[in-house]
A and B are shown apart, each in its own frame.
Chain A
Amino acid sequence: MIRSPLPQTDYMTSGHVGCPGCGATVAMKFALRALGEKTMMVIPACCWAIIAGSHPQSSLKVPILHTAFATAGAAASGLRAALDMKGDTDTVVVAWAGDGGTFDIGFQALSGAVERNEDFIYVCYDNEAYMNTGVQRSSSTPFGTRTTTTPGSNWKQTRKKNIVEALAAHRIPYAATASIAFPEDMIRKFQRARMLKGGSRFIHVFATCPTGWRVPTDQCIKIARLAVQTRIFPLYEVTDGIHYTLNQDASPRPVRDYLQVQGRFSHLSEVDYDTIQGMVDEDWMLLKRKVGPWPSETDI
Chain B
Amino acid sequence: MKEVVEGSHAVSEAVRLARVQVMSAYPITPQTHIVEALSEYCAQGRMAGRFICVESEHSAMAAVIGAASGGARTFTATSSHGLALMHELLHWASAARLPIVMAEVNRALGPGWNIWMDQTDSLAQRDTGWIQLYCEDGQEALDTTLLAFRLAESADLPVMVVLDAFFLSHTYEPVDIPDQATADRFLPAYRPRIQLDTREPCALSQMAPPGCYMEMRYDIQAGMRRVPDLYTTAENDFEDIFGRRYGMLEAYRCEDAEIILAMAGTAVSTSRQVVDDLRDRGEKVGLLKIRMFRPFPTDLLRRLVGNAQKIAVLDRNFCFGLGGIFAQEIRAALYHGERQPSVFSYISGLGGRDVTPEIIEEIYRRSKSADHPEIESVWVGLDPGICPV
Residue positions of A touching B, CB distance < 8 A = 37-40, 42, 49-50, 52-56, 58, 60-68, 70-71, 73-86, 91, 108-109, 111-112, 115-116
Q: Most chain-A CB neighbours within 10 Å: which of B66, B198, B205?
A: B66
List 7 A-B pairs, minimum CB-CB distance, nearest first. Answer: A78-B66, A82-B70, A112-B55, A74-B59, A71-B62, A78-B63, A82-B72
B30 within 8 A of A: no
Q: Known interface pairs A68-B62, A68-B89, A112-B54. Does A85 touch B206 (Cβ–Cβ under 8 Å)?
A: no
Closest residue on chain A to residue B56 by CB atoms: A108
Of all chain B residues, the one with the shortest Cβ separation from A41 is B203
Instruction: Enumerate chain B interface residues (CB-CB to A < 8 A).
Output: 21-22, 24, 48-50, 52-56, 58-60, 62-72, 74, 88-89, 92, 195-198, 201-209, 212
Question: Which of these, B58, B201, B203, contacts A70 with CB under 8 Å?
Answer: B58
Q: In the complex, A74 Cα to B22 Cα: how many Å?
A: 13
- Give B109 Cβ to nearest chain A Cβ, in Å: 21
* Shortest CB distance B175–A (Å): 28
Q: Are A65 and B196 in contact (CB under 8 A)?
A: yes
B203 and A67 within 8 A (CB): no
A108 touches B206 (CB 8 A): no
Question: With contacts A71-B89, A79-B66 known, is A63 near B197, CB below 8 A?
Answer: yes
Known contacts being A77-B66, A79-B70, A82-B72, is A67 close to B205, with CB within 8 Å?
A: yes
Q: Is the CB of B54 within 8 A of A60?
A: no
Within the complex, the shortest CB–CB distance from B199 to chain A, in Å, comes to 9
Q: A64-B206, A109-B55 are in contact. List 13 more A-B contacts (CB 8 A).
A: A52-B207, A53-B207, A55-B207, A58-B202, A62-B198, A63-B202, A71-B89, A76-B66, A80-B70, A85-B48, A86-B70, A112-B54, A112-B59
A49 cross-chain contacts in B, Cβ below 8 A: 206-207
* Inter-chain contact B66/A50, CB cutoff 8 Å: no
A77 touches B72 (CB 8 A): no
Min Cβ gap A200→B in Å is 14
| Known contacts A40-B198, A74-B62, A108-B55; A65 and B204 CB within 8 A of each other | yes
Contact between B66 and A108, CB atoms less than 8 A apart: no
Bound-state CA distance A83–B66 (Å) is 10
Contact status B66-A54, CB under 8 Å: no
Q: What CA separation (Å) do A85 and B49 show in the bound complex?
A: 8
List chain A residues, Cβ under 8 A from B204: 63-66
CB-contact partner of A116 in B52, B198, B212, under 8 A? B52
A42 to B198, CA, bound (A): 13
Known: A68-B62, A86-B70. A50 touches B207 (CB 8 A): yes
Q: Is the CB of B50 within 8 A of A85?
A: yes
Contact B66 A55 (CB under 8 A): no
Contact, CB under 8 Å: B65 / A66: no
Known contacts A50-B207, A74-B66, A112-B59; A68 and B22 CB within 8 A of each other: no
Asked if B63 contacts A54 (CB within 8 A), the reply is: no
**Can you list 30 residue pairs at the A/B interface with Cβ under 8 Å?**
A39-B198, A40-B196, A52-B203, A52-B206, A55-B207, A55-B212, A58-B201, A63-B197, A63-B198, A63-B202, A65-B66, A66-B206, A67-B92, A71-B62, A71-B89, A74-B24, A74-B60, A74-B63, A74-B66, A75-B63, A75-B66, A78-B52, A78-B63, A78-B64, A78-B68, A79-B196, A82-B21, A82-B74, A91-B198, A116-B53
Question: A111 contacts which of B55, B71, B205 (Cβ < 8 Å)?
Answer: B55
Cβ distance A50 to chain B, nearest Cβ, rounded Å: 6
User: How many whole Å from A52's CB to the nearest CB in chain B?
Assistant: 6
Q: How far is the CA of A58 from the CA of B65 in the complex (A)?
A: 20
Q: Give, as a whole number of angstroms, the nearest-CB distance from B154 to chain A.
A: 20
Residues of A within 8 A of B49 (CB): 85
Given A53-B206, A82-B68, A67 and B56 contact (CB-CB distance below 8 Å)? no
Residue in chain A with minimal CB distance to B23: A81
Is there contact, CB below 8 Å, between B208 and A71? no
